[in-house]
């Protein structure tokens, strides 16, 4: 592709994948990033991905940190979580234990970010395996509701169902959160500079 429009630095949204081991965090990430599905299971420590996507007509960068789900790494997770702007909390609908574990992840995130409204999606993965479902849909939705109405989405890294959706929805939340913050922080001052600029072009 040729020349890009020059519209200043493109914004970067930092997403973190959390959830127990084996629920499909890496699979979701790789499916979203590279359209591929990985059958075999290789435990992750911490993987980093970043690419440009178009979000509502605007070019943005998404940065994905795919973390380890294993207990052993609980301590280093604190560090990782600190840099996250939004979280996909993944469990497998075929594994009740992984669903129970989301509670702990949620608490850890709230503790580290110290923010009730951090952009957050609860993701039930492996929905292609519905016949082996162990966690009833109603229970998942109830938990999402109980967490202050975070969105709940079911995905399949295998069939690519809802994969784009969860990442894009999360980015939208992050983005609206940022514009909210920046308007809160700088208030009118920012608007004014914008306007002045406009007037110059105008008059």
Partner 1 sequence: MIPPLVTGISPKEGPAGTKITIRGENLGLRANDLISVQICGGECSFEWQSKNKIIARTGINGVKGKGDVIVTTSSGGVGNCTVQFRTYVESIGPLKESAVWVEETPIQSLTWGQRRMVTSSYHSQEDPLSLSIEGNDKKFTEDLREIFPENSGDLSRENFSPYWFLLENHHATSFDDLKAGYSYLKRKVEGQKEGQLSFLKTHVGAVIDQLDTMMKLKDKIDNNGEVEIAERIHNLQGTISQSIDSSHALFDDVLMRREKADKSRAALSVLNRYKFLFCLPMSIQKNADNNEFDIIVNDYARVKNLYSGKVDIPLIKRVLSEIDEIILEVRKNLHNKLKEMPQAVEQQKKFVKCLINLEIQQFGTKQYERLKINDPAWDSLFCRARYIEETFKRTYEEFQEREVQAKENNSVKRDQNSLPIRVLFCEEINEIAAGQFPDLWRLGQSYFTGELRGINEPKPGNFKQIILNVIEKFCCYIRSSILPNYYQKFSSVPPWTSNSSQQALISTWLPTCLRYLRITYSSLIRLDLPNEVLDVVLKLIDELRLFCLLTILKKSIDKVKRLDEKEGWDMKVEEFPGATALPEKFEEILAESLDEGQQMCLQLEVRENPLFDGIHNLEGYHEVSKIIETALGCFSTVIEELATQRSDDEIHPLPRHNITGFPVNTSLNDSKSTAISTITITWEHRLLYCLANAAYCNKMFINNLGNLFTKYGYPIPKLALENGRSNMNMVFANLLEIYVELKNDTIVSHIEPSMFSSDNFSWNTIEKCDKLSFWANQCLDNIVGVYLEIFAVSPFLLRPILEQIIQTIAEELSRLMNSVEQFNNCGRVQAILDIKMIRDSLKLYNNERAKLSFNEAMDAIPKLSNDENRYVDELLKSIKIQRRIQLMCLNVVNPS
Ligand X SMILES: Nc1nc2c(ncn2[C@@H]2O[C@H](COP(=O)(O)OP(=O)(O)O)[C@@H](O)[C@H]2O)c(=O)[nH]1
Q: Which residues bind Mg ion (CB under 5 A)?
A: 25-26, 44
Closest distance to ligand X from the beta carbon of 171 (Å): 20
Q: Does 124 help bind ligand X (rule: CB under 6 A)? A: no
Q: For ligand X, give the closer residue by CB, 23 or 121.
A: 23
Residue 1 binds which one of Mg ion, ligand X, partner 1, none, with CB within 5 to 8 A depending on kind?
Answer: partner 1
Q: Least distance from C-beta 133 to ligand X, angstroms?
A: 12
In the bound state with Mg ion, the residue whose beta carbon lies nearer, of 44 and 108, is 44
CB 163 within 8 A of CB 157: yes
CA distance 41 to 95: 16
Length of the chain: 203
The stretch among 66-74, 82-90, 95-103, 113-121 that binds partner 1 (CB under 8 A) is 66-74
What is the rounded end-to-end Cα distance, in angstroms, of the chain? 35
Classify strands 46-55 and 58-67 as parallel, antiparallel or unpaired: antiparallel
Q: Which of 13, 77, 143, 158 binds ligand X (CB under 6 A)?
A: 158
Tell me whether residue 52 or residue 132 sits nearer to partner 1 (CB atom).
52
DSSP 8-state class, residue 148: T
Return phi, psi of residue 135, to 5°: -110, 115
Sketch the per residue contact string, 123 through 162, with partner 1: x for CB under 8 A, - otherwise.
Answer: -------------------------------------x--
Q: How far apart are CA 127 and CA 144, in angstroms?
A: 17
DSSP code, position 57: T
Sign of the Cα pseudo-torsion (164, 167, 173, 178, in order): negative
Residue 187 CB burial class (10 angstroms; 0-12, 13-18, ≥19): exposed
Q: Shortest distance, CB of residue 8 to partner 1, whole angstroms?
A: 8
Which listed residue (71, 72, 139, 181) binds partner 1 by CB under 8 A? 72
- Closest-CA residue to 137 (of 103, 195, 181, 93): 93
Tell me which of ligand X, partner 1, Mg ion, none is bound by residue 11, counting a contact when its beta carbon lies within the kind-specific cut-off of 5 to 8 angstroms: none
Question: If binding is defined by CB under 6 A, does position 64 make contact with ligand X?
Answer: no
Is residue 194 a contact residue for partner 1 (CB under 8 A)?
yes
């Amino acid at each position: 592709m040729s020349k890009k429009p020059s519209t200043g630095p493109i914004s970067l949204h930092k997403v973190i994948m959390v959830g127990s081991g084996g629920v499909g965090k890496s699979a979701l990430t790789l499916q979203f990033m590279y359209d591929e599905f990985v059958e075999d299971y290789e435990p992750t420590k911490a993987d980093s991905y970043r690419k440009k996507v178009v979000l509502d007509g605007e070019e943005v960068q998404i940065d994905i940190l795919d973390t380890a789900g294993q207990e052993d790494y609980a301590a280093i997770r604190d560090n990782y979580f600190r840099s996250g702007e939004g979280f996909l909390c993944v469990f497998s609908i075929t594994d009740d234990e992984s669903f129970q574990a989301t509670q702990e992840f949620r608490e850890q995130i709230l503790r580290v970010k110290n923010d009730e409204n951090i952009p957050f999606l609860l993701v039930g993965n492996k929905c292609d395996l519905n016949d082996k479902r162990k966690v009833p849909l109603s229970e998942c939705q109830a938990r999402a509701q109980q967490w202050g109405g975070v969105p709940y989405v079911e995905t399949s890294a295998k069939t690519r169902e809802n994969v784009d959706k969860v990442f894009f929805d999360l980015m939208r939340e992050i983005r609206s959160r940022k514009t909210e913050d920046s308007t809160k922080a700088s208030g009118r001052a920012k608007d004014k500079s914008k306007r002045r600029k406009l007037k110059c072009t105008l008059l």
